Chains A and B, each alone.
Chain A
Amino acid sequence: MSHWIILPIVLPLLAGLLLLLAPADALKLKRLLSLTSALLLLPLAAGLLMQTTDGSIGVYALGNWTAPFGIVLVLDRLAAMMLLLTAVLALPALWYTARGEDQRGRHFHALFQFQLMGLNGAFLTGDLFNLFVFFEVLLIASYALLLHGGGVERCRAGLHYVLLNLAGSSLFLIAVGVLYGVTGTLNMADLAQRVAAAGSSEAGLLHAAALLLLLVFALKAALLPLYFWLPSAYSAAVAPVAALFAIMTKVGVYAILRVYTLIFGSGAGELANLAGDWLWPAALATLAMGAVGALAARHLRQLVSYLMLVSVGTLLAGVALNSASALSAVLYYQFHTTLVSGGLFLLAGIIRRHRGEAGDRFTAAPAMLQRTPLGVLFFIGAVGAAGLPPLSGFLGKFVLLSSVYPGLQQAWLWSVVLGGSVVAVLALSRAGSRLFWRTAEGTVAAAPVDRGQLAAVALLVVVGPVLMVVFAAPVFDFVDATAGQLLLPSGYIDTVLGGAGVVPAGGAQ
């Protein structure tokens, strides 16, 4: 049995612990450790992704207790994709931080690693309660990271973020409790089977639990009316943390994708595909309100946060459609939008340091020192964020839009998504013109822009999307297959539950 599957969890865990054991003042050592771990995660994730390309699903039975009794990690295409996305996003963010941002508070690197552990665990686990545990891991890490750097705004935003999510965790537990109380199991594949087999007398409880779970995930994914915490939280965080948070909303999207295709998917009989009816209106409304917020934004971080809401709306609208091509569009677009918004958060961080008093607010300020490289990056990033050609966002939107057949649904989706793009173009062009074109007299005394940080931004905003366009064909082959795998969960279920009987360990005399 290969142990590769668990490494994405164990590696950052150990790295984080070592970072705690390391002497407090050994900053260089810490950076080295942290970056090494992040760097290793990249080939690791890629390798795991390769393992899934033939459609096979890897199962890792922790403690050698096979499903449904023990906790299993399941590596299917979706999980592998999310791992890769996390790794791709984390490295530049960490690199950016290692150029100075990490001195603004203690234990940044350890917390960062723990956050990665939580993310990877959430993507890999095949057990509902274990998913809760990893949610808590990544949440507590995110709480601490959000406060990194201190200050009034972070405190205020952090308080809201923490208290809301704590309430959310209680709801999660209640939902899991009901599911266990009715089905007597926690393994998701097993749950899928038992839900499918459940009589209609159980349907009510299961339905309630399912919807409650959906609510919890919607809170993470920042769906109307539960997103109000997001803009202030994300604009308060330091740039690299905000960039990493770009994937936090996607955890919610992932969880929805997983649970509502596997457990409450097409096979769930009376409860089949129950999420769509709720997601559809909420997603479109979120998209619209995100666009409104983007118009209202007063500084770049705020604008990017709202654009992130727009993308969440787009993604979940696609999830609600629940068709093969819609899902592959979602998977493709999710990869794109996560990288781009992450990069723009980093860029906002740089700009903020180079416009003196004005920061990244859309007010006239003296021209930045290296306006050209920043301007180019912003322009490309804006094109990506608005989903305009030639970057990958356009492809994602095209596939999503063309996945619905003419009718009322199409009219809604098209008008809202395209309208959102128009607003995005409007807001971004306004922002760019204010930040880069309209300059006041005088100059700002600021250190020259750090090339390393520029590189980090370029990696996320330019290289990523461009590669996704150049290799669109293979990427789409993969996401199409992933969507197929999601819509046909029997493969997942059989692989997870088909494991051999428990091998009793021990007797080591």
Chain B
Amino acid sequence: MNSYFLPLIVALPFLGALLPPLFVRRGRTACAWSAALVTAAALALLLSVAAPVFDGDSLLFHYDWLPAYGFSLTFWLDGLGLLFALLILGIGLLVILYARYYLSEQDPMGRLYAFLLLFMGSMLGVVLSENLLLMMVFWELTSLSSFLLIGYWKHRADARQGARLALTVTGAGGLSLFAGIMLLGHIGGSYELSVLLASGDQIQAHPLYPATLVLILLGVFTKSAQFPFHFWLPHAMAAPTPVSAYLHSATMVKAGVFLLARLYPAMAGSELWFYLVGTTGMVTLLLGAYFALFKHDLKGLLAYSTISHLGLITLLFGLGTPLGAVAGVFHIINHATFKASLFMAAGIIDHESGTRDMRKLNGLWHYMPHTATLAMVAAASMAGVPLFNGFLSKEMFFAETLHQGWLGEWNWILPFGATLAGVFAVAYSIRFIHDVFFNGEPIDLPRTPHEPPRYMKVPVEILVALCLLVGIVPAWTVAPLLATAAASSVGAELPPYNLAIWHGLNTPVLMSVLAMVGGGVMYAMRHHLFALHARFFRPFDAKLLFERQLERVIAAARWLTMMLENGSLQRYMMLLLLSAVAMVAAGLWGRPLGGPLAPGEVDGVTLVGALALALSAVTTTIWHRRRLVALIQLSVVGLVVSVAFVRFAAPDLALTQLSVEMVTIILLMLVLYFLPQQTPAESSGLRKGRDILIAGAAGTSVALLAWGVLTRPYETIGDYFMEQSIPGGGGANVVNVILVDFRGFDTLGEITVLAIAAIGIVTMLRGLRLPTPDTDADGRPWASDRYPMILAVISRPLLPLALLVAVFLLLRGHNLPGGGFIAGLVTAIALILQYVASGTAWTRERININYVRLTAAGVVLAALTGLGSWGFGYPFLTSSFGHFHLPLVGDFELATAMLFDLGVYMAVVGSTLLVLANLGKLTLTKREATEGE
């Protein structure tokens, strides 16, 4: 058997969706044809494989996709699938033909057909999937594509809102269904229907069965517009009528009841099932029927009657009896046919008369007798009049309501409710016919109605013919399809049933008669009823309610977001720091803090230094509002820190700290020149208290960590470096060897950071114009003489000296304290001094370097040194060194690490000067002005 047809059938519409937008340039007919041919092709494929299904066996296509997660691309065609596929493709074809004449010139036809085909493909996927996850994919696709279809007339607000309402409700339901399916898969141990349908008892015995059932039913009820989720459907009527005819007769809303039929063997039969599904169905049936009667809009009436009929079908499956399922499947077929034709008829009326309001539409019989006849047949079928297909399934329905025994002495409720719904159905069917086609003359219609184009009626005629054929000779027409579909739904041998029109005089017949008569009476006294209805139900619009609620939710969401993200850095910073404190606390909680090591006693010098450090730190904080003073205090902190490094025998750190210190302070001085000299006192006492607490907590936690570590022994990789420094790294100064060799990669990253920072800073400073104050905070005028002579005189000889020192530091760095970084900073400071003393112009004349390039070149040099080692077959940054002999000079040592260090040196000089020189330039704008005097 050619089972690969199945994925092909599903794929065709998806691929075909590309055609209409292309063909629309060749005219509307060509466009319609392209869509129709795709559908026809899929239909042909389907029929070519349909035959065996009638003999009770099914067609299976299986492809393992994600076996580990139970996700397989499995399609199967059994009776139920075949029935639905036929409805989807058959009615789809008719809708395409109908839409060709329905759409007006300015409507983009290509788009409609494209969306329609997308939707068709999704529906086919739903009904042909054998793997529930795969089914889930297509299920959500139906929601998405129906969203596009309903919102087709995007310029209309009701269309947009209706589309979003439908998407939200069905989409949310879909996700709940998704959860249900995952639970089902967990219970049944597979997502394959073949497995699940066979293990119904095991599933229903499982403790998770109720949860699973509820989640799945939420998906079903939202899709099939069951109470209380029915409200989206009427608003989906904002779609073009062909779309409504398709979505609400054969497809979209039927997906829900399809799932009921599909999962019937696995889920149905339990008491819970009956109460949930049955009750929902009954309520929806009555509710829909009631409201349908009171809608003045043609499509509104049809919408609610659709809801009602879906309720009927749901109720039938809810009964949980095989015959109920048969009736359900049968009514699915019948409803599809008559409802599609009714929608099309309504569309024709709307199209030709310009309105759908039944209070205006009267007596159209004279204008469009042909359409009227068709509509009457369909409406009769909807009302369940004998000789029309609706009658047969309704009789079965009535019969089934009599044969269930869940409710004990309340059993009578079901037949009663069924009959009552029947009464309403008859009433609104009569209204559909009588109000529109008779009942006097039309009242100021936008245009004078007439029969539609010939081909617009063809689809209706075909459907109506079906209604009649099925209604009159069911055994020769629908019987085999119904049998196989129902059988595969129930998943067992069907009990005998008889599709005859006349079963003799029995209760169901009486119920029908009751419904007919009651319906007639009810229609006759409709005006009183309308008045009564108007008294009790003031018209309310679910869509508006939804929009209003949504607006409320959004307002709440905005408020909440505002509350959290109030845009205050202080709060974010506080949260960060508090969390940090909390983390440390949580980590240290209830665990030994102090270690075995003796803390070691303090000598006087250290104590004094420590006190100085603490004092300067605290004063910096206390005086922070007087910025210059605070800055000076801060620099003292830095100085003492570097002294501390000396105290603990870390000369490299001391030197680096010192030089960085100087540059940083120069930088801050420059910046402070443009910023307010004072910080306004704006923190409330409370705020200060809070911050002091946080600060205290943070300080304590860090102190605790330090104390904890310092009192513990540890074995470090450091010793290894001490040993390897000379043999491996060719340098005695271990710290420097680590920097340029053992962990040279860090240093490479570090100078990259420096370079990037410099680049970023220059970019920021570009085009920055700042007001330059004439006086400092206390009103003292800034010195007006451009460059202090003494400084200039002293600084110029300093430069070569400084460079000499730099070179010295650079060269010895590998063996003694020093190194590229410190050397770089020394050079930079010396050069900056030139800028300060003699001005940019003077300095530029003599030292004309592009600092960006210098920086980049430095990093390049460092990187290339690293790459160089590839040449010797060693990894990146492998250093090599050796002793070389030059005449006169004698033996001396060179290490590639020195080259690396040279790169560092260049990068540091470049970036530092790049920053400082550019910042300094900002002040020039003012200085140049005074220069002329």
Q: Which residues of A contact B (CB under 8 A)?
A: 1, 3, 6, 10, 13-14, 17, 20-21, 60-65, 68-71, 105-107, 110-111, 114, 117, 121, 129-130, 133-134, 136-137, 140-141, 143-144, 147, 150, 159-160, 163-164, 167-168, 171, 174, 177-178, 180-186, 190, 200-212, 214-215, 219, 225-226, 228-229, 231-232, 289, 292-293, 295-296, 325, 379, 383, 388-390, 394-395, 398-399, 401-402, 405-406, 414, 418, 421-422, 425-426, 429-430, 433, 436-439, 472-473, 476, 480, 502-509
Contacts and interface: CB of A to CB of B under 8 A. Distances in A.
B876 A121 contact: no
The 3 closest A-B pairs by CB, nearest first: A208-B587, A204-B591, A144-B760
Given A17-B863, A295-B553, A208 B584 contact: yes
Given A105-B763, A295-B554, A505 B151 contact: no
Contacts of B757: 140
A202 B766 CA distance: 51
B579 A69 contact: no
Contact of B569 (A143, A159, A205): A159
Given A71-B743, A293-B557, A210 B65 contact: no
A10 B875 contact: no
Contacts of A17: 856, 859-860, 863
A111 B878 CA distance: 27
B882 A508 contact: yes
Contacts of B859: 13, 17
B572 A160 contact: yes
B595 A201 contact: yes
Task: State the main secondary structure of chain A at its contact with B.
Answer: helix
Given A202-B712, A473-B66, 19 more contacts: A10-B876, A20-B852, A62-B877, A63-B742, A63-B877, A64-B874, A69-B717, A133-B750, A178-B708, A181-B714, A183-B714, A215-B580, A215-B583, A296-B561, A383-B144, A389-B138, A426-B164, A438-B154, A506-B881
A69 B720 contact: yes
Contact of B68 (A130, A160, A480): A480
B62 interface: no
Interface string B646-677: 00000000000000000000000000000000
Contacts of B742: 63, 65, 69-70
A294 to B, nearest CB: 8
A433 B584 CA distance: 48
A289 B874 CA distance: 51
A503 B185 CA distance: 57
Contacts of A401: 179, 182
B497 interface: no
A61 B708 contact: no
B932 interface: no
Contact of A140 (B705, B756, B764, B879): B756
A207 B591 contact: yes
Contacts of B741: 63, 65
Given A163-B573, A425-B168, A506-B880, A228 B564 contact: yes
B573 A398 contact: no
Contact of A147 (B764, B853, B863): B764
B69 A398 contact: yes
Contacts of B182: 398, 401-402
B872 interface: yes
B599 interface: no
B617 interface: no
B721 interface: yes
A167 B573 contact: yes
Contacts of A136: 749, 753
Contacts of A425: 167-168, 171-172
Interface stretch (B404-412, B472-480, B636-644, B724-732): B724-732
Contacts of B717: 68-69, 184-186, 190
Interface size bucket, B side?
35 or more
B746 A505 contact: no
Interface string B688-725: 00000000000001100100111010111110110010
Given A208-B705, A289-B564, A61 B168 contact: no
Contact of B875 (A3, A121, A208): A3
A164 B167 contact: no
A436 B141 contact: no
Contact of A130 (B136, B745, B867): B745
B11 interface: no
A71 B745 contact: yes
Given A70-B742, A114-B752, A402-B69, A167 B583 contact: no
A131 B588 CA distance: 25
Given A181-B709, A207-B588, A429-B147, A133 B753 contact: yes
Contacts of A295: 553-554, 557
A437 B151 contact: yes
A63 B876 contact: yes
A130 B171 CA distance: 47
A313 to B, nearest CB: 15
26 contacts: A21-B857, A69-B742, A71-B743, A130-B743, A130-B745, A147-B760, A160-B572, A184-B714, A184-B716, A203-B591, A205-B587, A205-B588, A207-B591, A208-B705, A228-B571, A228-B575, A232-B565, A292-B560, A295-B553, A325-B69, A379-B148, A383-B144, A389-B141, A433-B160, A505-B869, A505-B879
Contacts of A480: 68
Contacts of A10: 863, 866-867, 876
Contacts of B553: 295
A140 B749 CA distance: 11
Contacts of A436: 154
Contacts of B572: 160, 164, 226, 228-229
A476 B561 contact: no
A188 B633 CA distance: 39
B587 A160 contact: no
Contacts of A14: 860, 863
A110 B752 CA distance: 12
B803 interface: no
Interface string B151-177: 100110100100110011001100110
Given A129-B746, A137-B752, A296-B560, A111 B759 contact: yes
Contacts of A174: 702, 705
A97 B37 CA distance: 44
A107 B564 CA distance: 35
Nearest to B207: A406
B109 to A, nearest CB: 14
Contacts of A177: 709
B27 interface: no
B794 to A, nearest CB: 35
